[in-house]
Amino acid sequence: MNTTKTDEIINKNIDQQRISILMDWLKSKNIYIHSAIKLGKRDDGFFVYTEKFIKKNTIILKVPKNAILSPKTSLLSFFLDKTKIPSILSVCIVYMYEKSLGQKSPWYGYLQIMPDKVDIPKLWNHEKKWLKGTEIEYVGGLDISELQSAYNELILPFIKKNKEILNQRIFTYNNFLKAISVVRSRVFEIDKFHNLGLVPFADMFNHATNEHIHFQTFYNVCRHCGLIYCKHIFKLKKYKKTQYEDTCDMIVHNSPSAFDEVYNTYGTHGNDILLSRYGFALHKNKWDRISMSKIFQKNDMKSDRLLWWKLNGFNASYKMGLFKRYFSKNDIKNYFSSDSNNHNDKEIHSYHNIQYLFLQDSLFITFPSDPSSPLIFFIILLSLSHKLFKNLEKNTKKTNIYILNIIRLQLLYFHTGSIKNLKYQKYTTLLIIFKINKFLSNAIDSRLKKYNQTLILDNLVYENIKTQENKRKHWTKIVLQNEIDILNNTKKKCIKLIHKTKLILKYQKLYSFKIKKNYF
């Protein structure tokens, strides 16, 4: 028997032992798992599957909250409660601490099955240059400075202050990087008491956009003690006592068939977040978006239009409902609260700055080839004649109707490919649509130049993805291919619409259909 075959058998036996240790530990902690649910192992990691069909709304996992690993359940809770360390870093600290205890940790059976690290791009070496210009770079997925600051300013002082119980040789910067990569990829939002935490077995389900299960927990518990009914709540307000089993559950949302892998969803994330946080990417990810705002920042454009956009763009877009397709009201609310804590205490221009940042973040092209409504609005603004722009400043209501009509026509063509609705539009409207697509096509060319020009997709060749470098090539190729396809497909549509609009304009001009008066 050759060495490779022997190693495979040994590794398979080790994996089975780790699964057995985990399952025994789960049972000891009164964690319920549906009898059909099983844990398996393959080359790319662990996965969960079912041995039979499971009905919708079936609970397949129930984890008591005293079994989760959080800053409130660890022995370090007494020390962490006295700090202002952010929740995600607190989870990282307790994870490192409990893991350092080995078999002495109450969570050993759970922690022993975890990977040493998740291979996120922040931890890559020379391979980072492959992702230059991608959305991963734009969201900070290659920049490690934030983690360096967090370690030096928050983690290290905590370690030094509690050196009697924390081994400084274990809490090194390199170990912190590995730990935070694991924690960020597995952490769940639990409730008001725990905030964030690691939920045993719930983190073993892989991600898919057509997921089978959803995570569910009772969030509004007492923030002082974690109970649903307690003396703290009783003192604050009238509260009807209810019998409730305080657990974190996985519930079937879309029934899996026998021997299907059972998938969870990590959220509506593009590959920028999936690779940056979870260490993988998806082919033709329907949540992929290509940001375009930085292209326009470096463009030589009319300053009066940019100033109007900065001061009025958010309110105008909101009133016209341009954000609705892409963001819920909660999305917008959360953006403002997360990007500007206590912004009410700041000068009013700070609030406008947050509006502008949100507005700029809404300038994107989505999979497979759809420019966002705010992006089209912004390009319309740049395409208007001086006279029409002045009218835009004077007559908001009438202008909104006009702009919405142009956005509707643009998106309708991109979705259907039909020019039926364009044929009978006025000359000025057609001219703006022509300019929109000319401008967008040029912007896409500029965006494509942001990618690593020395890296050709064909050069990312690998025989298998078992080695670390080949895995990184694999994920890079998926990310690059998806982003470049989105941009190229959008450009193709722009060029077609430019050509068709040009023909209609020539026809109208030839037969004197050009309007003599502007719409507004």
Question: Is the pLDDT higher at 453 or at 429?
Answer: 429
Q: Assign 230 a pLDDT band (cuts: 50, 70, 90).
A: low
Residues 391 and 434 in one domain: yes
Whether this model's pTM surpasses 0.75: yes
Q: Assign 459 a pLDDT band (cuts: 50, 70, 90).
A: low
Q: Assign 7 a pLDDT band (cuts: 50, 70, 90).
A: low
Signed CA dihedral, 165, 169, 173, 179: sign only:
negative
Q: Assign 344 a pLDDT band (cuts: 50, 70, 90).
A: very low
How high is the pLDDT of residue 388? 80
Summarize the confidence of residues 398-416 as an average pLDDT. Answer: 90
C-alpha–C-alpha distance, residues 402 and 145, integer Å: 46
Mean pLDDT of the chain: 87
For 133-261, where are the E strands, in sequence order?
A: 188-189, 196-197, 206-207, 213-217, 247-252
Residue 517 within any structural domain of the chain: no
Q: What percent of the chain has pLDDT over 70?
A: 85
Supply the CATH number for residue 247's domain: 3.90.1410.10
278, 297, 315 - which closes a domain = 278
Summarize the confidence of residues 505-512 as an average pLDDT. Answer: 71
How high is the pLDDT of residue 105? 96
Question: Over the stretch 288-319, which tens digit does the pLDDT of each residue have?
Answer: 999 999 888 755 567 888 888 988 899 889 98
Cα 471 to chain centroid, rounded: 21
Most confident of 51-60, 228-237, 343-352: 51-60
Residues 109 and 52 in one domain: yes
278, 307, 340 - which closes a domain = 278
Residues 270 and 315 in one domain: no
pLDDT of 133 over the 90 cut:
yes
Q: With both helix axes pointing from N to C terminus, report the angle between 87-100 and 173-186 in degrees, rounded to the nearest 10.
A: 110
Query: How many independent structural domains does the chain possess?
Result: 2
Q: Which of 27-31, 401-405, 511-515 is predicted least confidently?
A: 511-515
pLDDT of 504 over the 50 cut:
yes
pLDDT of 244 over the 60 cut:
no
Strand partners, 64: 247
Summarize the confidence of residues 168-176 as an average pLDDT. Answer: 94
User: Residues of 8-34 as b/e, b for ≥16 C-beta within 10 angstroms?
Assistant: eeeeeeebeebbebbbebbeebebbbb
pLDDT of 456 over the 80 cut:
no
How high is the pLDDT of residue 353? 82
How high is the pLDDT of residue 304? 84
Residues 297 and 274 in one domain: no
Find the domain containing 417 and state its range: 289-326+362-510
Residues 272 and 294 in one domain: no
Residue 95 within any structural domain of the chain: yes
Summarize the confidence of residues 394-409 as an average pLDDT. Answer: 84
Residue 503 within any structural domain of the chain: yes
Question: Is the pLDDT higher at 2 or at 285?
Answer: 285
How high is the pLDDT of residue 5? 63
Residues 304 and 161 in one domain: no
Burial of residue 282, with CB atoms counted within 10 A of its CB: 0-12 exposed, 13-18 middle, 19 or more buried: buried
Residue 131 within any structural domain of the chain: yes
Residues 209 and 122 in one domain: yes
Residues 41 and 169 in one domain: yes
Summarize the confidence of residues 109-114 as an average pLDDT. Answer: 97
pLDDT of 515 over the 80 cut:
no
216, 243, 278 - which closes a domain = 278
Summarize the confidence of residues 195-205 as an average pLDDT. Answer: 97
Residues 173 and 317 in one domain: no
Residue 110 within any structural domain of the chain: yes
Question: Over the stretch 77-100, which tens digit does the pLDDT of each residue have?
Answer: 889 988 889 999 999 999 999 999
Residue 188 within any structural domain of the chain: yes
Q: Which of 16-25, 160-169, 292-301 is predicted least confidently?
A: 292-301
DSSP state of 275: I
Residues 229 and 318 in one domain: no
For 51-164, where are the E strands, in sequence order?
A: 59-64
Residue 350 within any structural domain of the chain: no
Residues 302 and 259 in one domain: no
pLDDT of 454 over the 70 cut:
no
Residue 336 within any structural domain of the chain: no
Residues 295 and 248 in one domain: no
